[in-house]
Amino acid sequence: MLNLVRDNPIIAMTLAYVRTRLEPMRETNERGASAVEWAVIAAICVLAALAIGGAVTAVVTANKTRIDTGSTLPGARNIGE
């Protein structure tokens, strides 16, 4: 099977073209993050922001409910005490 691929001139030429185009990319010493890495970092930041926002919303909603029902907030003193 491998000989059939190598014996076909079109496939051999295509392989040679692809190898010559990919070889410089392999040799370069890449510094910094690629676009995919930046996208992953951005996605992690967005998920962290959503988690923190959800936690803050839950605390605010719980305290709002306590205020609406007239109970005291944790650490707060009642007026008149």
CA–CA dist 13, 6 (Å, integer): 9
pLDDT in tens, 18-72: 888 877 776 666 666 688 888 999 999 999 999 999 999 999 998 888 888 876 6
Distance CA 66, CA 55 (A): 17
**What is the three-class DSSP state of 34?**
coil
Model confidence at 7: pLDDT above 80:
no
Answer yes or no: is pLDDT of 80 > 60: no
Predicted model pTM = 0.46
How buried is 66 (Cβ within 10 angstroms: 0-12 exposed, 13-18 middle, 19+ buried)? middle
